Each structure stands twice: as C-alpha cells, then as structure tokens.
C-alpha cells in the first residue's frame, strides 16, 4: 500500500480545517470593531469547502467519493482531488448597539458593530479543531501502519 496517499488526504483535511480555525479567530477578533456611520467596516467571513473535482451527484463522473476512489485506484493522487477552501463574506447585517455618547454613533445614537455571533463562531472553532485532531489521528495511524509494515518486511 502506498501510504503517501493517506498522508496527502489527511494533510488536505488539516489544511481545510486550519483555514476554518483562522477565519473563526478573525471573526472573533473583530467582533467588537466599530464601523463608521455609513462607511464599510469588518464583515464576518466564512469558509466554503468544496471538492476540487466538482463532483456532485449529478455529474457524469459520479459522486466525489467515487472520483476519489477512482483516483486512488489509478494511482493519480494530485491536488485536483482534494477539497478547495475559499473564504467569502457572510453578508450578515451589522449589530446596532445604542451608545449615544460614542464618537462614532449615528444621529439616533446607535453604533454599528460587525454581525458576528460569538456562540456560532466558537462552535465552528471547536468543530474545526476536532476535525483537525481527527485528521492528525488518521495520519498517525497510517504512519504507525507503515512503520509496522517495514518492521514485518525487515524480519522476513
């Protein structure tokens, strides 16, 4: 068995989950950034992870899983098989807080903050962390199997 494929798949998963952690941290860090009245400020972000092969159920090549299995069988494992993670704005409305004494308050006394939901971001952060840890465990298991195969092969 070629263990480099298993390593590459786990590495791709870790890369995608690292991107999710970075975006969640960015959103949380900018949750209390004041937006100027009428001006653009920080807009919450989200990560969209989709297969690079574009495999949907309706594609002639079959599902994404089928395409990955086909690539593994053919020995063609490249970046084209792994998921792509793109970052885009969520489009969430700003959170308005009544602070009439604030220098950036509008004429009604409201200050605009980014529409970041801290609970949602923390759940996404925890989910991405657990998924990252799972990919690390899978990579370590593949490494252990590869080392054990070398030990067995060396004793015969």
pLDDT score, position 4: 79
CA distance 145 to 143: 5
In a domain, 19, yes or no: yes
Residue 49 phi/psi, 5-degree rounding, is -110, 120
Phi, psi for 68 (deg, rounded to 5): -65, -45
Predicted confidence (pLDDT) per residue in 37-94, tens digit: 776 789 999 999 877 665 444 444 556 556 666 666 666 555 555 667 789 999 888 9
The confidence score (pLDDT) of residue 30 equals: 94
CA distance 30 to 45: 11
Domain containing 143 equals 3-31+45-89+116-155
Per-residue confidence (pLDDT) for residue 58, from 0 to 100 = 47
Nearest to 81 by CA among 98, 99, 61, 95: 61
Q: Is the pLDDT of residue 121 over 70?
A: yes
Q: Domain for residue 111, yes or no?
A: no
> Whole-number mean pLDDT of the chain?
82
**pLDDT at residue number 37:** 73
Q: What percentage of the chain has pLDDT greater than the value 90? A: 46
Asked if residue 26 lies in contact with residue 45, where contact means CB atoms within 8 angstroms, the answer is yes
* Tokens 């793109």 found at: 86
pLDDT at 50: 79
In a domain, 143, yes or no: yes
Question: Taking 70 as the threshold, does the pLDDT of residue 118 lie above it?
Answer: yes
Domain assignment of residue 78, yes or no: yes
Q: Is the pLDDT of residue 26 over 50?
A: yes
pLDDT, position 113: 93
Instruction: Kindly state whether residue 36 falls inside one of the protein's structural domains.
Output: no
In a domain, 76, yes or no: yes
Residue 79 belongs to a domain:
yes
pLDDT of residue 56: 46
pLDDT tier, 8 (very low <50, low <70, confident <90, very high otherwise): confident
Indicate if the pLDDT at residue 98 is higher than 80. yes
Q: Give domain status of residue 110, yes or no.
A: no
pLDDT classification of 34: cutoffs 50, 70, 90: very high
Q: Quote the number of domains for the chain.
A: 1
Looking at residue 135, its pLDDT comes to 93
């Amino acid at each position: 068995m070629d263990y480099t494929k298993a390593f590459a798949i786990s590495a791709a998963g870790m890369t995608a989950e690292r991107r999710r952690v970075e975006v969640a941290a960015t959103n949380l860090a900018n949750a209390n950034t004041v937006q100027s009245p009428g001006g653009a400020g920080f807009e919450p972000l989200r990560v969209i992870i989709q297969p690079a092969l574009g495999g949907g159920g309706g594609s002639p090549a079959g599902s994404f899983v089928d395409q990955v299995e086909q690539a593994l069988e053919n020995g063609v494992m490249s970046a084209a098989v792994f998921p792509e993670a793109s970052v885009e704005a969520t489009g969430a409305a700003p959170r308005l807080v009544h602070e009439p004494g604030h220098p950036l308050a509008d004429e009604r006394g409201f200050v605009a903050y980014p529409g970041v939901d801290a609970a949602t971001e923390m759940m996404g952060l925890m989910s991405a962390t657990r998924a990252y840890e799972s990919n690390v465990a899978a990579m370590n298991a593949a490494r252990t199997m590869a080392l054990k195969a070398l030990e067995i092969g060396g004793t015969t």
